[in-house]
Structures are given as C-alpha cells and as structure tokens.
Amino acid sequence: MPSVYRILKPALFRLDAECAHNLAVRALKSGFVPGRKPVIDPRLQQSLWGMDFDHPIGLAAGFDKNADVYNAMLEQGFAFVEVGSVTPKPQPGNDKPRLFRLVQDRAVINRMGFNNAGMDVVTQNLSDRARARKGIVGVNLGKNKTTERAADDYVLGIHALAKYADYLVINVSSPNTPGLRDLQGRDQLYELLMAVKAALLQAGCDKKSPLLLKVAPDLTADDKRDIADVAMETGVDGLIVSNTTTARPGNLQSIHKNESGGLSGHPLLAPSTDVLKDFYKLTGGKMVLIGVGGVSSAGDAYAKIRNGASLVQLYSAMVYHGPGIAVDIARGLSRLLAADGFDHVSDAVGVDVSLS
C-alpha cells in the first residue's frame, strides 16, 4: 500500500485538499484501495472499557464524517475508527476553501465547520453494516451551528447513535463552530455532561457505551484543572487530548500558515503532548486518555503513550503518508517497547510523568 500511495500522491496533491479527501473516501468506499495485513502482537493488545484493541493506533474523527468507510479504514490496519463529528441536522459547514495543506510544515489547517450529512444518515450507515463491522467504531458528536442550547443536540445524538457506537465522544473543542469551546468552562461542561449521562441512561441500550470528552490544546492551567475535575466528578470514561489548535507557531513556513481554523499535524505534536501530560497528572493516571495531535511515526505514538495515553489517534499524517501508516506505526511501536524492555504497552503508559 505505501508504494501505491507514493504513486498516487503527486496527482492527489495537484487537487484542492478537500477534493483529494473526497476522492480518497470514494476510492475507499468502492473497494479500490487494498487492505493491509493486520498487526497481531500480544505486546500491543489491550482491553479497555471491556473492548479488545489489537493495538493502540486509531483513526481520529474528521476523516469519515458520515460513517461511509469505517470498515475500509479498519482494513487499512487501524485498531479503531472514530466517525463524525455528527450533528443532529445536516449542515454544509463553512465556505470553501476550508482545508489547506501546509506541506513544508507537515501540517494541515481546516475550518470545515462540522460539515456532515446529519445523524439520520450516520445512523443508517452504522445500522446497515452493524452485523458486518470489522472492529471498534466510535462516534464523535457535535452540535449544529444554529442550536442555542448545546446540550439538546448532544442528547439527540446520544438517543440516535448510542446503540450503534462502541464508544461515544462529546466534542466541545473544535475551533470552527462559534461558541463551542465555551462549553469547556466548568459550569457549562458540568451541565452538559450531566445531561448527556442522563440521556445515556434513558437510551435503553443493551450495552453501556463508554463516554469520552474531546478537549482543546489551547487551555489555561485553570481550564485544564476544571475540565479534569468535572470529568472525574461526572464519571466520564476517558478524555481525548487534543483537538486542533488556533495557535500559529512562529516557525511555520507554508503560504497557508495564516489561514483561519484549526492547525493539525507535526507542529501540534509537542504542545498537544504537553497537554496530555497535564491531564494525566490532573486525573492521577486513573482515567483512560487517548493522545492525538501530530502523530506521524512510531516515535510520536510512543511519546504519547509515555506521557499518559493508553490509545493514540491520527488523521493529518495520512495526507502525507497514506492510510497504511497505522500498520507501520504499530509495528514500529512494538520494536520501541521491546528495545526499552517493556513486555506490554500498558507498562509504558505514563512512565515519563511524575504523579507525586
């Protein structure tokens, strides 16, 4: 697969970034992209929330917004796939162009604005293929731009999608929906999470879907402390750290560096890992954390794990390396663990963080 992507990459990079993305999804949906041999390695396998993960590497939300190709991405070697963000009503998102490659910086800027087909379409796509699902699939929930009371949209999403989701994510951290990040404040977040928890109890599912919260990297020390406290108080099952950043490092080189939106890719690796480390400390290592931001190699994934992540997600790296990157990272991660004398990936979680 890497050689196939290397052949296609020059042609894809001649296209607008969003056009290339849509073409990739269509190719995956049609079965044009061959799968990769799965990684089966006891050193990497772990059970979290009652689910068995073949390895720690998953696909972050944003690539498969409408649950069109989650099975295809599982066949590319991801251990789990997160679809969405999904809003109750369909919405077109922000004006185009809204997705930019920063090639010199190995980065991406997006201001998509939760463009998706809505929860009815996603529900249908997940239910149609539920019997043939080939791995763990999470659902990332957002709110419509025009909804005034955010909790209403998240509750609607819970009722519609909880039965089809192996885990659920409350996304309050995208920078591209006005006012969304305000929901990370202590009082607003507590109210939202309590409403969502109540909706989960009312959803009447046969199984309890773990509930995760996705947070921003652009947080003050007080913000992080408040989020950690509320997450533990409300019984959230995990945190995804982190979403894209509105910050612009001074060393960016691309002509697109000043585009508005969220920056992802290599420049986000260090700051998002620092935030991950902070949340591992604030939760005392007692909450499952998913590390995301700037991961494009086994070393990057290993850094996330050593700073508190039990699982790791990526997305932007596929723009530059293709969808087979998950297998390469998982195999490399196993070698790194062995070189450092770790018998199992869980032994490395948080080893670089002092909890004292």
Catalytic residues: 174
Q: What's the CA gap between 77 and 272, in Å, rounded?
A: 24
Residue 85 preceded by cis peptide, ω within 30: yes
Q: Taking CA 21 as the corner, what is the angle to CA 19 and CA 25, rounded to the nearest 5 degrees?
A: 115
Q: What's the CA gap between 281 and 65, in Å, rounded?
A: 32
Beta bridge partners of 139: 83, 168
Residue from 92, 224, 84 nearest 154 by CA: 84
Axis-axis angle for helices 298-306, 325-339 (nearest 10): 60
Residue from 280, 277, 270 nearest 245 by CA: 270
Dump the DSSP string for 131-166.
GG--SEEEEEE---TT-SSHHHHHHHHHHHHGGG-S
| Tokens, residue 301 | 């994934």
Q: What's the CA gap between 308 and 322, in Å, rounded?
A: 27
- In degrees and rounded to multiples of 5, residue 170 shows phi and psi of -95, 110
Contact 273, 222 (CB under 8 A): no
Q: Taking CA 56 as the corner, what is the angle to CA 53 and CA 61, rounded to the nearest 5 degrees?
A: 95
- Which single residue is written with the structure tokens 């949209």? 153
